[in-house]
Copies of this chain bind each other. A is one copy, B any other.
């Protein structure tokens, strides 16, 4: 709260950077909590951020990068000189390297990689080849490889002499490879502690350890971590050769990132995330592209009303109920969409099981449609005293509710089957259908019963 009075951290930081006091800036930054750091750096000017990050020690700069949203970290990296950027990238954990670079323009990435140690750069290039949904993308390629014929004493020696090399990744398991680099066993660190120095690796290792192919999907990888307390799993190629290690937390993080993106897409924020420090043009443009599509669909469904303009002007009371019928249809449909999305994510349903969903939804739609239809019919009756008007809006509400849950329940499965993104496409398709059917049901029924409604 007192940040209101004295200059806030970001203002002080900006000031220090502008007056070239980079050491004081680094001291200030190190005194902030992670949360304060995120807030302070994100509020600085673009030039301030770039200047700050290029003067910090690369290690500290990398820590700051990890605290920022990926898209934002990528923006800053893009504005740095390739050499400064490459030094920071070298200090990031491997999965973060790939993720942040994936938000940067291709040419720029190559310029940054060109400044790096060629071996590190090559390894990043390889990870970048994996698809967004493949676990290979999330792996670290540094691990401790040992051989089944080694003694425990030799392994401990190897571990000691490579101490420096291993110190910046958190080793939990040692991986036992054969002469073709095929993974044949795993030795947890603590087993090493518990074993005699003369024992052979092959006698203490866990044989046939759980492993994941590099093209395993994130969801499958996530399930592989369920029901055990492993902190990491080895990743192998098609011949069983050891390629790297994926941490349980990287998989969890990737899943949680995807749910976040799905939420944003479902709410109409597409093309990656939007943060309010982004330039105005980027923000308006991205939002507008989504709204333009929606306005076109919305005009399409409203044109159903135009067809029945004569009916509507004879029974103007209907105008009040049209948005209620279409709106509640939309809400009921969204509920069904959410349940289907959830069941797909949990693996409780397969995309081809559309019939099962329809069977499960139709009764819910009928019962709730009946309740909501009765309710709105009573409101209409009470308001206008015409039982036929009540009947028209009640029946339209009920039938529209059934259509909504059937469409909403089936859409995510169908979209998934045809390879479209259900998080993105379900909403607009659903509301277009429920609007059209809601308007059509109410107005066509009214047209049929017109003499009774006037």
* A positions within 8 Å CB-CB of B: 1, 33-35, 38-39, 42, 62-64, 66-67, 69, 93, 156, 159-160, 163, 166, 168-172, 188-190, 192-194, 220, 223-227, 229-231, 247-249, 252-253, 255-256, 259-260, 262-264, 266-269, 273-277, 280, 283-284, 287-288, 290-292, 294-295, 298-299, 301-303, 305-306, 309, 312-313, 316-317, 319-324, 326-328, 331-332, 334-335, 337-339, 341-343, 345-350, 352, 356-357, 360, 363-364, 367-368, 371-372, 375-376, 379, 383, 431, 435, 439
Cβ contact within 8 Å between B227 and A63: yes
Q: A166-B190, A291-B332 given. 10 additional CB < 8 A pairs?
A: A193-B193, A249-B252, A256-B256, A263-B338, A264-B338, A269-B339, A283-B364, A284-B368, A291-B331, A291-B372
Determine the residue in chain B with the shortest Cβ distance to A230.
B170
The one of B283, B302, B338 that contacts A321, using a Cβ cutoff of 8 Å: B302
Alpha-carbon distance A231/B250, docked complex (angstroms)? 11
Q: A189-B189, A259-B260, A348-B69 are in contact. Are A364 and B284 (CB under 8 A)?
A: yes
Cβ contact within 8 Å between A295 and B372: yes
The one of B194, B249, B291, B326 that contacts A231, using a Cβ cutoff of 8 Å: B249
Alpha-carbon distance A1/B256, docked complex (angstroms)? 30
Determine the residue in chain B with the shortest Cβ distance to A371.
B288
Cβ contact within 8 Å between A220 and B35: yes
> Can you list 9 contacts pairing A with B, beta carbon distance less than 8 Å?
A38-B223, A159-B190, A169-B229, A264-B338, A267-B338, A274-B342, A288-B372, A295-B375, A323-B439
The one of B189, B256, B283, B324 that contacts A259, using a Cβ cutoff of 8 Å: B256
Determine the residue in chain B with the shortest Cβ distance to A295.
B328
A266 surroundings in chain B (CB, below 8 A)? 263, 266-267
A383 surroundings in chain B (CB, below 8 A)? 306
Alpha-carbon distance A24/B19, docked complex (angstroms)? 75
A431 surroundings in chain B (CB, below 8 A)? 327
Cβ contact within 8 Å between B319 and A319: yes
Q: A256-B256, A342-B273 are in contact. Are A323 and B324 (CB under 8 A)?
A: no
Cβ contact within 8 Å between B172 and A227: no
Determine the residue in chain B with the shortest Cβ distance to A305.
B320
Cβ contact within 8 Å between B268 and A347: no
Q: Which of A259, A326, A345, A375 has the most CB of B within 10 A?
A: A259
Cβ contact within 8 Å between B229 and A287: no
Alpha-carbon distance A294/B375, docked complex (angstroms)? 12
Determine the residue in chain B with the shortest Cβ distance to A384.
B306
Cβ contact within 8 Å between A347 and B38: yes
Alpha-carbon distance A316/B324, docked complex (angstroms)? 18
The one of B188, B322, B335, B349 that contacts A287, using a Cβ cutoff of 8 Å: B335
Cβ contact within 8 Å between B298 and A323: yes
- Smallest CB separation, A409 vs chain B (Å): 9
A356 surroundings in chain B (CB, below 8 A)? 276
Determine the residue in chain B with the shortest Cβ distance to A438.
B323
Alpha-carbon distance A172/B170, docked complex (angstroms)? 9
The 9 A-B residue pairs whose C-beta atoms are closest, nearest first, are A252-B252, A267-B338, A256-B256, A34-B223, A63-B227, A313-B316, A276-B360, A66-B227, A248-B249
A288 surroundings in chain B (CB, below 8 A)? 367-368, 371-372
Alpha-carbon distance A332/B262, docked complex (angstroms)? 17
Alpha-carbon distance A38/B383, docked complex (angstroms)? 51
Determine the residue in chain B with the shortest Cβ distance to A166.
B190
Alpha-carbon distance A140/B226, docked complex (angstroms)? 17
Alpha-carbon distance A334/B267, docked complex (angstroms)? 6
Alpha-carbon distance A350/B439, docked complex (angstroms)? 42
A350 surroundings in chain B (CB, below 8 A)? 39
